[in-house]
Structure 1
């Protein structure tokens, strides 16, 4: 069972909290801003995009420039992550533009002692998003809570489809 969780995705932070595990969350990404009060958890990532890149064209230009130069869009504070002593780090492997690249996370956890387990999610469809909720619950050691949350989500989806 994971007792110290680092969530590097906003959706996972919300999932961890929905599973009743807010007290196990020891680190988050800079993008995690919900539920209220989550800002008290240390942010172990940061965007490299210029703060003045606010229009779509400016952001696209900055992302294009970074890709051309082979530069990452995000930083992981490996020292802070190590000090948080996470035993489970949850990230994604779907998109290096949307969130910290999986390789950067793997590099950041390489020297954590004791080693942290990395759970990398890559849902592309709604059913995979629902399955990732159960993956998070299983990874955190609360599979029953995951099944309850998944059932609730499926019921909500079914209610919307029935309208």
Structure 2
């Protein structure tokens, strides 16, 4: 990764929100078809597409399509590898916890192998609130925004503490 602000591709909506919370909207060069928040990401190059039209299919049709695509392709999403390569990211954020939640981790790793220099593919997969805070901190460290990450985490922790105090009364 460069010492300047990295060129970031986010293949996970929550990672997109983390990047933006750290003030790195301008460093975000590519997102998923599901990234729609914050509004600043609308219009960024979209690198993924779903093979399933959940708006027009019944639950049974979606289930069948998911099973068929996972068996045949290993994913229900397509990754625009040509566009990924054209964007020349310094950092790719994704997840490897769930094959039906985003482009498969293996697909992303394979696509990243063609870059001249090694591009880190970082998997964010929180299971707890503490894990979410750790992910924010990790992205902050990777992007040179550790101070901003600490500020975001502290702000979220304060909001949760206020909520807990309110609920206790």
The TM-score with structure 1 as length reference comes to 0.92
Tell me the equivalent position of 1:108. Answer: 111
Classify the secondary structure of the residue corresponding to 2:98. Answer: coil
Give the aligned partner of residue 147 of structure 2.
144
Give me the whole-angstrom Cα distance separating, in 1, the residues matched to 2:26 and 2:94. Answer: 19
Listed as ranges, the gaps of 5+ residues in structure 1 are none
| Deviation of 1:18 (Å) | 0.9
Q: Equivalent of 2:48, from 39, 45, 50?
A: 45
Equivalent residues of 1:6, 1:28 under 8 A apart: yes
Q: Secondary structure at the match of 2:39?
A: coil
Q: Secondary structure at the match of 2:42?
A: helix
Number of aligned residues: 163
Q: Please give the alpha-carbon distance, in whole angstroms, between the structure 2 residues aligned to 1:53 and 1:63.
A: 14
Distance 2:46 2:23 in 1: 20
The alpha carbon displacement at 1:145 in A equals 0.8
2:89 aligned with 1:86: yes
Q: Which runs of 5+ in 2 are unaligned?
A: none
Deviation at 1:19, TM superposition (A): 0.5
Give the number of the structure whose alpha-carbon radius of gyration is greater. 2
Which of 116, 120, 126 aligns to 1:117? It is 120
- Give the equivalent residue in structure 2 for 1:35: 38
Q: By how many angstroms is 1:3 displaced?
A: 1.7
- Is the Cα–Cα contact under 8 Å of residues 49 and 73 in structure 1 kept in the other structure? yes
* Structure 1 residue 70: Cα displacement: 5.0
Please, which of 3, 14, 26 is the counterpart of residue 23 of structure 1?
Answer: 26
1:156 to 144, 150, 159: 159
Superposed CA RMSD in Å reads 1.6
Q: How many Å separate the matches in 1 of 2:123 and 2:89?
A: 15
CA contact (8 A) 2:25 2:40 kept: no
Cα drift, residue 114 of structure 1: 3.1
